[in-house]
Structure 1
Amino acid sequence: MTTLAAPHIPVLLAEVLASLKPLEGGVFVDGTFGAGGYTRAILDGGAGRVIAIDRDPTAISAGQEVVAAYDGRLSLVHGRFSELDAISADTAGAPVDGVVLDIGVSSMQLDRAERGFSFRADGPLDMRMGLDGLSAADVVNTFEPRDLARLLWVYGEEKQSNRIARAIAARRETQSFTRTLELASTIESVLGAKRFGEMHPATRSFQALRIFVNGELDELIAALVAAEKALKPGGRLSVVTFHSLEDRIVKRFFADRSRERAQGSRHQPDLAVPPPTFRVEGRQPIDAGEAELGANPRARSAKLRFGIRTDAPARDADRDALGVPRFVVGGTR
């Protein structure tokens, strides 16, 4: 067994391992490699092999040391976790025993100001996990105020989205936004400075921009469906989320995939539904304990949900049924 120190502590690590139950000789997929914390723990916990995926090329480059440390037991692939079924089939050639997904931005990305995810450190207003496509600066500087307000409302659940959008539009008339602290300062001018013990006023707006720029909610749905296709009967899917939009989707996915009948009315019997593709056990979601909260503040908002794959055929997901908010440029709120 090889143990390699990780630069960041993954949240709910013990709980994730308990939900995955790494099998000796088993094949597992870590759909969000990041700094490799879950991958290392799964391999050290007895798994035979891990296929780790990340859309961030810097994570792939930094992870080569981890690949070397595990003597062929780790395959590190540059790609999106929405494609994990195809990636695992190409790499392992067979259904897998478990999949773990840690949704959202990684600590490694947050801690590097040059990636533009943080409202606490100055850096370019970027937020692109894959380093391609529209940046957060492109959105902030070009979207009509109405569209920007809707984006902050839909993906950030920001109640003051209209006021923030107007302030952004007023500021960019004289100077475009290029830096994270420029945007954070503008938001603070609307909502006021952070008070002790309160969430930073820019939190929801930065979350909304990051989700939109990276298409995170659509990626999450596709990843859940891909995991369902990739898992063998008895295989396990464990998902860690960090805010209500993500958790709502995962909760509804497992509820839909584990139900055995649909509730009818007193005038109509229960409706037939497809066979359940997952079995959900125990009380969920699972939150971090006091010890972890004291050691790792990032765990405060983390929630773990997991399911065990049945032998029923995989199926597509209904985006609306999973409660995925819709944002279209030029649409209505």
Structure 2
Amino acid sequence: MTTGHGVGPADAAGGPARHLPVMLREVLAHLAPKEAGRYVDGTFGAGGYTRAILAAADCRVLAIDRDPTAIAAGQELVAASGGRLLLAHDRFSRLDEIAAERNFAPLDGVVLDIGVSSMQLDEAERGFSFRRDGPLDMRMAASGPSAADLVAELDEVSLAHVIWSLGEERQSRAIAKAIVKARAEAPITRTAQLAEIVSRVVWSKPGEVHPATRTFQALRIAVNEELDELVRALAAAERALKPGGRLVVVTFHSLEDRIVKTFLSHRAKAPSASRHLPQAEGPEPSFRLVAKGAVEPGPDEVAGNPRSRSAKLRAAERTEAPAHPGGDLMGLLPAPPPQRHGRRR
């Protein structure tokens, strides 16, 4: 990475970043920002990737975030960018539409950092963390049903399904049963309440993750429809990237990584040939894999930033082929719960 235009990664335009962007060096190496390029940072957060991209080349960035707090905090960076940064308060699943609306397409690169930001985790009032007591909220966009709503409204079977399918929690049935029993006595409205309920059911040894980790993850993903958003964002990036444009995705748990891996593997796969037909069947590959497999953070980064320990990066480059039809993408998602709403005791 070069530090052009007087803007460095640690002290970029708008002042130092509020958090440590995960795998920043690897993201820049695979995104390869170039002069006059157009890049989308689909998960702006505290602006760590955006700052680094702007510092790496005389390019422009369209940064997207559904969290109004992140957009408000980014205005100083917009002002300091000399017109090279645009912010959009929106869902990154619409990145192709947003780029077209801003006359910003086609794109030279898209970077996505999937999951909750350190800012959200560190602010107790957002309700993302079981380590900081606050309202059981978890909404990135500060609108729509909250985690407290799901905990209050889903029946026991649906709760168990959400916790198992989105949190990969083996004790999902016992947790759901405990939640239903507890809410019959009093509403569950605080993160500490829910963490305590889960901790009574799930035991962990010293040094292991907190017993409530997977349950909180599952509810957060459900509240924000994160996996649906990811699938749609991958397809949107495929449509918006120009030939040679790069897609870089950083994930933090197996569900996300599995979706990205499957999507890129499918899009980079050559059509299967048939001995009965002279030509191969199916669409041509729309991506070429840049990273062969997942790239993981080095030991120094994990030691300095423990939140990076589960991160995986995957990257691919857009080919000349048209974008694939998107009808197959919903098959990447876990099966929906048998019943989304309707409280039963």
TM-score normalised to the size of structure 1? Answer: 0.95
2: CA distance between counterparts of 1:162 and 1:270? Answer: 50
The secondary structure found in structure 2 opposite 1:39 is: helix
The secondary structure found in structure 1 opposite 2:102 is: helix
The Cα shift of 1:272 comes to 1.4
| 1:47-96 deviation line (CA, Å, top 9, x unaligned) | 41000000000110111111111111100110000000011112234301
Aligned to 1:284: 293
- What pairs with 1:293-304 in structure 2 (closer than 5 Å)? 293-304=302-313
- What pairs with 1:212-291 in structure 2 (closer than 5 Å)? 212-262=222-272, 272-291=281-300
Q: CA contact under 8 A between 1:239 and 1:304: conserved in structure 2?
A: yes
Distance 1:262 1:47, change over 3 A: farther
| 1:4-29 deviation line (CA, Å, top 9, x unaligned) | 31010110100000000000111100
Is 1:72 aligned to residue 67 of structure 2?
Answer: no
Q: CA contact under 8 A between 1:152 and 1:158: conserved in structure 2?
A: yes
Q: CA contact under 8 A between 2:291 and 2:316: conserved in structure 1?
A: no
The secondary structure found in structure 2 opposite 1:315 is: coil
Corresponding pairs, count: 328
Is 1:114 aligned to residue 148 of structure 2?
Answer: no
2: CA distance between counterparts of 1:18 and 1:235? Answer: 13
Q: CA contact under 8 A between 2:30 and 2:290: conserved in structure 1?
A: no
The Cα shift of 1:268 comes to 9.6
Distance 1:85 1:178, change over 3 A: same
Please report the RMSD computed on the Cα atoms of aligned residues, expressed in angstroms.
1.7
Residue 296 of structure 1 aligns with an amino acid whose one-letter code is N
5+ residue gaps, structure 1, are none
Q: CA contact under 8 A between 1:262 and 1:272: conserved in structure 2?
A: yes
- What pairs with 1:169-248 in structure 2 (closer than 5 Å)? 169-192=180-203, 194-248=204-258
Residue 67 of structure 1 aligns with an amino acid whose one-letter code is V
Is 1:167 aligned to residue 181 of structure 2?
Answer: no
The Cα shift of 1:232 comes to 0.6
The secondary structure found in structure 2 opposite 1:283 is: coil
Distance 1:47 1:279, change over 3 A: farther
1: CA distance between counterparts of 2:277 and 2:181? Answer: 57
1: CA distance between counterparts of 2:64 and 2:170? Answer: 35
Q: Which runs of 4+ in 1 moved over 6 A?
A: 266-270
- What pairs with 1:31-110 in structure 2 (closer than 5 Å)? 31-110=42-121
The secondary structure found in structure 1 opposite 2:205 is: coil
The secondary structure found in structure 2 opposite 1:301 is: coil
Residue 229 of structure 2 aligns with an amino acid whose one-letter code is E
| 1:288-332 deviation line (CA, Å, top 9, x unaligned) | 00110110001100000010000111123313543x10223528x
Residue 218 of structure 1 aligns with an amino acid whose one-letter code is D
The secondary structure found in structure 2 opposite 1:165 is: helix
Aligned to 2:318: 309
The secondary structure found in structure 1 opposite 2:227 is: helix
2: CA distance between counterparts of 1:47 and 1:248? Answer: 34
1: CA distance between counterparts of 2:218 and 2:278? Answer: 42
Q: CA contact under 8 A between 2:37 and 2:59: conserved in structure 1?
A: yes
| 1:73-124 deviation line (CA, Å, top 9, x unaligned) | 1001100000000111122343010000000111111111100000110010
TM-score normalised to the size of structure 2? Answer: 0.91
1: CA distance between counterparts of 2:72 and 2:177? Answer: 40
| 1:140-194 deviation line (CA, Å, top 9, x unaligned) | 11111111011111111111011001101111111110100100000001113x4
Q: CA contact under 8 A between 2:273 and 2:281: conserved in structure 1?
A: no
Q: CA contact under 8 A between 1:225 and 1:316: conserved in structure 2?
A: no
The secondary structure found in structure 2 opposite 1:92 is: coil
1: CA distance between counterparts of 2:315 and 2:164? Answer: 29
| 1:21-44 deviation line (CA, Å, top 9, x unaligned) | 000111100000000000000000
Distance 1:47 1:246, change over 3 A: farther
Distance 1:14 1:179, change over 3 A: same
Q: CA contact under 8 A between 1:8 and 1:107: conserved in structure 2?
A: yes
Distance 1:89 1:310, change over 3 A: same
